[in-house]
Amino acid sequence: MAPIVTNLEEIVEGYISKNNVMIFSKSYCPFCTKVKNLFDSLSVKYEVLELDHAENGEDVQKYLIEKTGQKTVPMTFIKGELLGGCDDTMKANAENRLLRLVGSAQNGVSAAGGVAEAAIKDNNVVVFSKSFCPFCTKVKDLLDSLHVKYEVLELDQRDDGSDIQAYLVEKTGQKTVPMTFIKGTRLGGCDDTLKAHAEGRLLDMAGATESNGIDASAILDLDSYQYDLVVIGGGSGGLAASKEAATLGARVAVLDYVCPTPLGATWGLGGTCVNVGCIPKKLMHQAALLGEAAKNMKHFGWEVKEENVTHNWQAMVSNIQDYIKSLNWGYRVALQDKNVKYLNAYGEFIDHHRLKTTTKRGKVTEITAKHVILATGGRPRYPDIPGAKEFCITSDDIFSLPYPPKKTLIIGASYIALECGGFLHGLGYDVSVMVRSIFLRGFDQDMAGQVGEYMENEGVKFVKKCVPTQVEKIADPQDGEPGLFKVTGKYTNGDDFSDQFNTILLAIGRDACTDKIGLDKVGVTVNSKNLKVPTDDRERSNVPYVHAIGDINDGKLELTPVAIQAGRLLAQRLFGGASDVCDYVNVPTTVFTPLEYGAIGFSEEDAVKFFGEDNIEIYHQKLWPLEWTIAHRPENVCYAKLICNKANKNRVVGFHYLGPNAGEVTQGYAIAMKLGATKKHFDETVGIHPTCSETFTTLAITKSSGQSADGGGC
């Protein structure tokens, strides 16, 4: 075989396009030999390029990885289409598809096949879809958000749709839609397309160079810039990006300004997580857990009278706020140590690369930057009803509330709503939660229902299928005591709701803080539905020098560690010559409700929709933590569940846990799932006894069996 020397892409593509069957191989690889022997046994003519013998074999493999996402050889192409590796080739043969695939290149295709082939050939990007499929919609929405032009064939709306799908199944072995092709090569389904986006390959494959009419060459560079990078927003992601960029030698400034809540609450540097999110939430959750522990102490021999155990709201708030202020100061010191300029000012664009900063006292300054990172985060949403902003609070207010909330109504059923409701009830307050539809939208609904059921059994009241219509003041807060307010609402059946509460906390969602920072003046595209900024695989907006990370990055996870990771990697790409992108797949998370909930990967509902019910096996088990036994806490409420894809060696695609220390339990398994763990891997792992986590190493009961999942003792 002649060595590869120049114009690598053209030559590789030539091998693929000019040969009916093309195998990229390594001469010493047993799996490559297996594939070549198979074709030999079938008397199929093929061309092979042994990469370990080619002069630029390593570069060829890098190109193929970029093109296909497949990181190993053999790599088999038939009629210009990637079949896959050894397993894929063997599977195609076992399913009697291989010879038909090879033969179809010689014998022509059906009319439906001709339509499919024409669509694949004539369009840079084509998506075979069904209009009702949520996963098809997810792929189309992703391409729309990236401003990638594509052709779509909705198979359910065509007379020949079933024939086209039958042809595609025969051609590719993929039995479901969506099916994405880029430049004539099959990328795959929803999961493959999202993975290509997360790995930073999708836009490069599609060859997208401009979007939304913004031509990078039309944006004039300035003669000089005060800063290499300006970050708008001093939250977790913005701080991570700014410090990393400064470490790499960039001149960096951070703009951070907190607009007060309607009740006047404000806070220091650090963003939502530190000031009004994860940190104070977890500390108040811990306070509630300690209250529960106090009730259990007598069962462990401690002689404590429950009537002597009381909680002081003001003391808790004061101590938490003191700790947060120490973090605020620490962040300022860290920026100073990294030579990052901290500007406590509101930032907004006035033109390309130019920003106006306004301090609390109204001082206006103009600065320039070569790159801008938007990391403004979000703020709680208020319903459009009388009295909402005047008399209600949000998560922006609860953690610094100067008086105990007492009888509280929480409006919403998000994780913020249930977490706040949980710790307030745990601290001894009368708590009601008004739920419009379902608990924990976006999470596994089996698990969400169990979280709600546990809270209800513990004494939290739920006002279900109801929405508020008005809030009226009866009495103002005074002398360290809350006020009194009347809430009226409407049930979905038309009945009226009315009750009085000392505190009403709104938790109905959050809006991105992008509408008042001048994005329209530089042409940055914003999703009108949620005000978030669509970006590409590398967090770039449609304006090349403007990037977005964290909660305002459209379609990405709203989690602090995700923002930190994305910000750090973005800075490394901008100023360190790196290429790694943030991986948004299989990110673990935990909801700190009274019964904590940890999750990774697919919910049960999404797994069934995505992989097909016949391909899913669910292993589950109720458990009773040892610490709960002699305290007589509820049995069979903690729960472990693994969702496995039978079609892929029982790979674990969903992990779900209800029980104590959910964050600690879930974090470790996230690594296993990143590495593609199967049920067999879990089974082969030796558990630590006695722990809740060990349950995942012994799961044997499947939902499909119908057997009871109730647990026993050790």
Report DSSP letters for 153-176, one per residue: EEGGGSTTHHHHHHHHHHHH---S
363 is a domain residue: yes
* CB-based contact 659:665 (threshold 8 Å): yes
Please tell me the distance from the alpha carbon of residue 346 to that of residue 665, in angstroms, as a whole number: 40
70 is a domain residue: yes
**Best-predicted range by mean pLDDT (38-42, 62-66, 133-137, 393-397):** 393-397
Give the CATH number for residue 31.
3.40.30.10
Give the CATH number for residue 344.
3.50.50.60
Among 473, 508, 543, which residue terminates a domain?
Answer: 508
Residues 401-424 have a mean pLDDT of 98
- Are 525 and 478 found together in one domain? no
- Confidence check: pLDDT of 621 > 80: yes
Among 456, 476, 508, which residue terminates a domain?
Answer: 508
Give the CATH number for residue 670.
3.30.390.30
Residue 108, pLDDT score: 42
Residues 6+ apart with CB under 8 A from 261: 393, 394, 396, 397
Residue 507, pLDDT score: 98
pLDDT tens sequence across 314-357: 999 999 999 999 999 999 999 999 999 999 999 999 999 999 99
- Are 318 and 292 found together in one domain? yes
Please tell me the distance from the alpha carbon of residue 414 to that of residue 421, in angstroms, as a whole number: 11
Host domain of residue 621: 596-705
Residue 531, pLDDT score: 95
- Are 343 and 242 found together in one domain? yes
Residues 645-668 have a mean pLDDT of 96
Residue 586, pLDDT score: 93
Please tell me the distance from the alpha carbon of residue 613 to that of residue 178, in angstroms, as a whole number: 17
For the chain, give me the number of helices (H) and strands (E)?
24, 29
More confident call, 342 vs 135: 342
Residue 515, pLDDT score: 95
- Are 503 and 392 found together in one domain? yes
- Confidence check: pLDDT of 147 > 80: no
Residues 6+ apart with CB under 8 A from 356: 347, 348, 349, 350, 364, 365, 366, 518
pLDDT tens sequence across 71-90: 899 999 998 889 999 989 99
Confidence band for 224, pLDDT divided at 50, 70 and 90: very high
Residue 14, φ and ψ in degrees, nearest 5: -65, -45
Residues 569-580 have a mean pLDDT of 95
- Are 363 and 478 found together in one domain? no
Provide the 3-class DSSP secondary structure of residue 278: helix
- Confidence check: pLDDT of 107 > 50: no
Residues 360-379 have a mean pLDDT of 97
Total tally of structural domains belonging to the chain: 5
Q: Considering the chain, what percentage of its residues have pLDDT values greater than 90? A: 73
218 is a domain residue: no
Residue 5, pLDDT score: 38
Please tell me the distance from the alpha carbon of residue 405 to that of residue 558, in angstroms, as a whole number: 28
Residues 298-318 have a mean pLDDT of 92
Can you name the residues that pair with 599 across neighbouring β-strands? 589, 656
Q: Under the phi-then-psi rule, with left for phi > 0, alpha for psi from -120 to 50, and beta for the rest, what region is 628? A: alpha
Residue 132, pLDDT score: 84
- Confidence check: pLDDT of 211 > 90: no
Residues 198-224 have a mean pLDDT of 70
What would the 3-class secondary structure string for 129-146 be? ECCCCHHHHHHHHHHHHC
By annotation, the residues acting in catalysis are 689
pTM, to two decimals: 0.74
- Are 164 and 263 found together in one domain? no
Among 89, 104, 119, which residue terminates a domain?
Answer: 104
- Are 170 and 152 found together in one domain? yes
581 is a domain residue: no
- Confidence check: pLDDT of 415 > 70: yes
Closest alpha carbon to 229 in 98, 341, 349:
341
- Confidence check: pLDDT of 713 > 60: no
Residue 7, pLDDT score: 72
Residue 217, pLDDT score: 62
pLDDT tens sequence across 446-501: 999 999 999 999 999 999 999 999 999 999 999 899 999 999 999 999 999 999 99
More confident call, 216 vs 69: 69
- Are 339 and 296 found together in one domain? yes
- Confidence check: pLDDT of 92 > 90: no
More confident call, 486 vs 110: 486
Residues 587-594 have a mean pLDDT of 98
Element (H, E) at 206: helix 202-206
- Are 237 and 375 found together in one domain? yes
Is-cis flag, bond preceding 134, omega within 30? Answer: no
Residues 6+ apart with CB under 8 A from 706: none
- Are 54 and 180 found together in one domain? no
- Confidence check: pLDDT of 209 > 80: no
Residue 584, φ and ψ in degrees, nearest 5: -95, 10
Residue 125, pLDDT score: 94
Burial of 468 (0-12, 13-18, 19+ CB in 10 A): buried
316 is a domain residue: yes
- Confidence check: pLDDT of 306 > 80: no
Please tell me the distance from the alpha carbon of residue 294 to that of residue 595, in angstroms, as a whole number: 17
Confidence band for 568, pLDDT divided at 50, 70 and 90: very high
217 is a domain residue: no
Confidence band for 110, pLDDT divided at 50, 70 and 90: low
Cα-only R_g, the chain: 29
Residues 386-393 have a mean pLDDT of 98
Residues 505-516 have a mean pLDDT of 97
- Confidence check: pLDDT of 6 > 70: no
Q: Considering the chain, what percentage of its residues have pLDDT values greater than 70? A: 96
Can you name the residues that pair with 601 across neighbouring β-strands? 654
Confidence band for 712, pLDDT divided at 50, 70 and 90: low
**DSSP state letter for 186:** E
- Confidence check: pLDDT of 1 > 50: no
712 is a domain residue: no
Residue 144, pLDDT score: 81
Residue 288, pLDDT score: 98
More confident call, 133 vs 446: 446
- Are 159 and 186 found together in one domain? yes
478 is a domain residue: yes
Residue 105, pLDDT score: 41
Residues 1-18 have a mean pLDDT of 68
Residues 142-164 have a mean pLDDT of 86
Mean pLDDT for the chain overall:
92
Q: How far is CA 652 from CA 409, 606, 643, 674, in A?
A: 39, 14, 6, 10
Provide the 3-class DSSP secondary structure of residue 705: helix
- Are 64 and 121 found together in one domain? no
